[in-house]
Structure 1
Amino acid sequence: MNDERVRGFPAFGATGARGKFATSWWGRAWVSAMEDTALDLRQLKAGRRYAAAGLVGPITVSPGRIAAVVDDVDGGPYRTELRLAELSEGDWTRFLDRVASRAGHLAALLDRDMPHDLVEAADDAGVHLLPVIGDLDPECDCPGWELPCKHAAALSFQASWLLDTDPFVLLLMRGLGEREIREELESRTAPREDFAAVAADRTPGELPDLAAFQPSGAPSIPAAPGVPAEAFALLTANASGQARALLAGEPWPGRRHDAVRLAAEFPAAAERLGEGANFRRAVAAWTFGGSAGLDVLEAPWSPPKAALAAARAALADVTEDEPVFNRNHCTAGETQLRLDRQGRWHPYRLEDGEWWPAGPPETDPGLLPG
């Protein structure tokens, strides 16, 4: 087996009051997949205690498998593992194509983040990254019959800590190592030499006057069965706008990005374009901040130190709480601000454990709602 596809992690040891398991949303999805399958809650509680007590030894991750030796206060040690089906070659191709098609997705993944939008895009392509009920298959040589037993539960809880800091652990279990993924993404994003050579020899002509392509009015299109006439007007206006943008050299941002924009610009069509809390949150981000608002929601980035220092000084004047920075996110008390690449702050509010856009961006954080 390729050595790049086997990773070892030292034992966590006793953590005491480390806090709850899984702080990232994808880590929580991992834990939920295990907890929702369990038939005996006592085994889960014992597994939490074993994980916090440091009874799980060094962890080894390889395609389709995560394994460790787990001690037991009543015996052991026991060889324990969790199995997860690997993605097929076709699944990997579709997933990597999706990642490479969006700069925000690519930057986030390489920075060890896994945005909701990336997982949703993969789901749309039929590639399911995160485990759900029944996907995790625990095995242990202990005499217990429960699935999972407390040893497998302990391993799963500690695995969530690994996933929190490095989503490549999940991708390795799905079949590919980090270096392989990076190489595949580089091959998809690198410019093609033959195309660059041809382009260098061409002298582009002038674009026609785009004003000549402006429609004098919306075309009159009758309604179709189940499709109101205004839907055709919306699609026509959108197609016209996209055509002008492409003629002007602006790249098409992608299907979901375009759906979010349309839902924000045409609220009456929002239900036809997408559903779910993540989509509504994306529409709210676009409504308040346009394309930059969506990027600041879904693609965290690391601002220069000088920008963070200036932000800290500015925020000190408008809040009594000590600002806590996590990349371009600043949390102070019940308020979170996110800095976009144009130097504007986007306000967020906490709802049901998720941060939601709360208003338009401002260059001066003091002008934002508290």
Structure 2
Amino acid sequence: MNAARGFPAFAPQHAGARFATSWWGRAWIKAMEDTSLDQKLLRKGRAYAKTGQVGPITVSPGRIAAVTESEYDTVVRVEQLTDAAWERFLDQVAAKAGHLAALLDGDMPHDLVEAAEDAAVPLLPAVGDLEPECSCPDWGHPCPHAAALCYQASWLLDADPFVLLLLRGRGEAELVEALQRRDVPAPAPSAGVPAAEAFAAGVPSLPEPPPFDVSFAPPTLVAGPGVDVAALTVLAASAASRARELLLRGWLPGLTEYQDRVRLAAEHDLDLGPGLDAPVRAWRHGGADGLDALETAWTPPRRELARAQALLEAGWEGERPPEIESWRNRWTLGTVQLRYGRDGRWYPFTERDGRWWPAGPPERDPATLLGRPDDSWS
């Protein structure tokens, strides 16, 4: 069976484009990067991948291949699973109905990979598992062309985890057919409680009904066909009682009264007075963390800012990164400002009428925000 799959070449990406947004795609890249001994070659590989220097990609059992820079034949090999390993893997997939559904939905469940590893079936590559080959004269391991192919392969893996399974030896159609022929193992019986013991325990008494003390004027409802006014009045009174209990306990857990006002305005389009336009916008983009990024300046650990600086520089391969005016958790670049939140994400702001305005959802990679087109910020 020829299970090879072909994929068209990726178009050039913007400088801030990210590789591997899925956890299994990141594991693929980590296996390649941890094998490399030359960071300069990896930077070239990222630049080649983003600027469209990789041709159409062919994925087949044990190898992924492409022509790079229009002349070099580049291949990355990975060991295929044995038939016995595939049988153990199919056992793990069939053991839980949600595993196959997740794969078909474009997800690679953590527990499936862990169960496969426990059964001695390595799905994700580790250091040294990826074997690059290239016709270029570079002796790097991997060379920039093989690195570029691996980086672009992470996009394929993000979109379809069956690409990884094909590299390990079997395609989607073959796997689904094998699972359809396989009986799903019966779940192990639970310990349970002996029936005699359960009946001897008797029926426990029900708790006391909750208090029903509502000091509010019920709404005036007009009767209509199929409308039970009395029932709706009771439901309204019950909802008001529960809301009152929440308020007496201190709004929503973990929120101050002010934060809860902003949350209500953001989630229900309420007008709760002047001065809440920017906070409401910040909440819609990032919740309580987004509101904190708007209103609080703080000093992050140096290692976190250094890591962010490295991500920014990596996103501008072949170009000079923009000049940054840095103050505490805020990076200012002209009319754009990025603020590092306590949740580890960067929040974008734009200058408007002399103040900074929340401009979009956050990202963990600041280069991604700076690579967004201006019209994607709102």
Which bin holds the TM-score, normalised by the shorter protein?
0.5 to 0.7
Please tell me whether Structure 1 or Structure 2 has the larger radius of gyration of its CA atoms: 2
Consecutive unaligned residues in structure 2, runs of 5 or more: 186-192, 201-263, 270-278, 290-341, 346-378
Partner residue, 1:136? 130
Q: Is 2:268 aligned against 1:317? A: yes
| Structure holding more helix per residue | 1
Q: Is 2:67 aligned against 1:69? A: yes
Consecutive unaligned residues in structure 1, runs of 5 or more: 192-208, 217-312, 325-330, 336-349, 354-370
Say if 1:316 and 1:322, in contact at 8 Å, map to a contact too.
no
- What secondary structure does 1:157 align onto? helix
Alpha-carbon spacing, 1:334–1:58, altered in 2? closer, same or farther (3 Å): farther
Partner residue, 2:20? 22
5 Å matches for 1:295-314?
none
Structure 1 residue 97: Cα displacement: 1.1
Normalised to the residue count of structure 2, the TM-score between the two structures is 0.52
Q: How many residues align?
A: 218
2:33 to 28, 32, 35: 35
Taking the aligned partners of 1:67 and 1:97, their CA distance within structure 2 comes to 30
Structure 1 residue 162: Cα displacement: 0.3
Structure 1 residue 107: Cα displacement: 1.4
Partner residue, 2:230? none
Alpha-carbon spacing, 1:165–1:151, altered in 2? closer, same or farther (3 Å): same
Q: Is 2:115 aligned against 1:121? A: yes
Say if 2:266 and 2:281, in contact at 8 Å, map to a contact too.
no
- What secondary structure does 1:188 align onto? coil
Say if 2:134 and 2:146, in contact at 8 Å, map to a contact too.
yes
- What secondary structure does 1:67 align onto? strand
Partner residue, 2:195? 211
Alpha-carbon spacing, 1:19–1:118, altered in 2? closer, same or farther (3 Å): same
Partner residue, 1:295? none
Alpha-carbon spacing, 1:69–1:352, altered in 2? closer, same or farther (3 Å): same
Taking the aligned partners of 1:334 and 1:184, their CA distance within structure 2 comes to 48
Structure with larger RCO (C-alpha < 8 A, sep 6+): 2
Taking the aligned partners of 1:317 and 1:55, their CA distance within structure 2 comes to 48
Q: What is the CA RMSD across the aligned residues, in angstroms?
A: 3.4
Partner residue, 2:302? none
Say if 1:321 and 1:333, in contact at 8 Å, map to a contact too.
no
Partner residue, 1:275? none
Say if 1:33 and 1:132, in contact at 8 Å, map to a contact too.
yes
Deviation >2 Å, runs of 4+: 188-191, 213-216, 313-324, 331-335, 350-353
Q: Deviations over 1:181-232 (max 9, x none)?
A: 11112222579xxxxxxxxxxxxxxxxx94315699xxxxxxxxxxxxxxxx
- What secondary structure does 2:122 align onto? coil
Taking the aligned partners of 1:125 and 1:176, their CA distance within structure 2 comes to 18
Partner residue, 2:373? none
1:148 to 121, 142, 148: 142
Alpha-carbon spacing, 1:152–1:333, altered in 2? closer, same or farther (3 Å): farther
Partner residue, 1:158? 152
